[in-house]
Amino acid sequence: MKRSACSGRAAAASRRSPGSPPCSIAPTTGTVTLDGRTVTGWRHRAPREQRTAIGVVFQQPRLSADPRLRLRDLIAEPLRATGRRDEAATAVGELARAVGLGDDLLTRRPHEVSDGQLQRACLARALVLRPRWLVCDEMTAMLDASTTAALVAVVEQYRREHGAGLLAVGHDRVLLERWCDRTVRWEDVAAAA
């Protein structure tokens, strides 16, 4: 699958569907096609297969993480929400190791870890349902260079193993052009609409 990027002002790029949970906002014009099928339901009315086909990693992990949950539960949350609790222990352990989180960090809550560690947990949460598509909405904007490189490597490893597609949204054009096969400017997309 392809790796595409949309670059431009953060506020403009995040105002519509890339920064929103998958299948949550109905388009005002046109249609949305996912894996060759038109998306007809929105929010909870979207078929589960479509809702779980996309994993999303947001720019600010503290705003996307429930502060009451331990990182282990944060990562497992999508499995529990889809009735797959029995997979949680194995999947969380594997993904925690893949994103660079040790067992000691999994018992902590979001306020007890760094932004980079929390973003690693949020990436693991996005991957736990094994999505066919991954949306990274400014996933690395607030991270240092080494954490950025580590998370991009995790995404690329996942893509190689599972054949997943990628939409990376951000304003770091250099990173996007190195990471993705194709980069378009948000301003060009908005002007064409």
Total tally of structural domains belonging to the chain: 1
SS (H, E, C) the chain: CCEEEEECCHHHHHCCHHHCCCCCCCCCCCCCEECCEECCCCHHHCCHHHHCCEEEECCCHHHHCCCCCCHHHHHHHHHHHCCCHHHHHHHHHHHHHHHCCCHHHHCCCHHHCCHHHHHHHHHHHHHCCCCCEEEEECCCCCCCHHHHHHHHHHHHHHHHHHCCEEEEEECCHHHHHHHCCEEEEHHHHHHHC
**What is the pLDDT at residue 17?**
42
Q: Could you list the pLDDT tens digit for every one of the 193 residues in the chain?
A: 667 767 766 434 444 444 444 455 566 777 777 777 777 766 666 677 777 888 999 999 999 999 999 999 999 999 998 999 999 999 999 999 999 999 999 999 999 999 999 999 999 999 999 999 999 999 988 899 999 999 999 999 999 999 999 988 888 888 888 888 888 887 777 777 6
**What is the pLDDT at residue 178?**
84
Closest by alpha carbon to 73, among 28, 115, 125?
Answer: 125
Write the CATH number for 134.
Answer: 3.40.50.300
Tokens of 169: 């949204």
Single-letter code of the amino acid located at 28:
T
Task: Give how far the C-alpha of residue 115 lies from the chain's centroid of Cα atoms, to the nearest Å.
Answer: 16
Q: What domain range includes position 136?
A: 3-192
Tokens of 33: 């096609």
Q: Return d(Cα 98, Cα 100) in angstroms, integer.
A: 6
The predicted model scores a pTM of: 0.83
Tokens of 174: 């250099």
**What is the pLDDT at residue 16?**
44
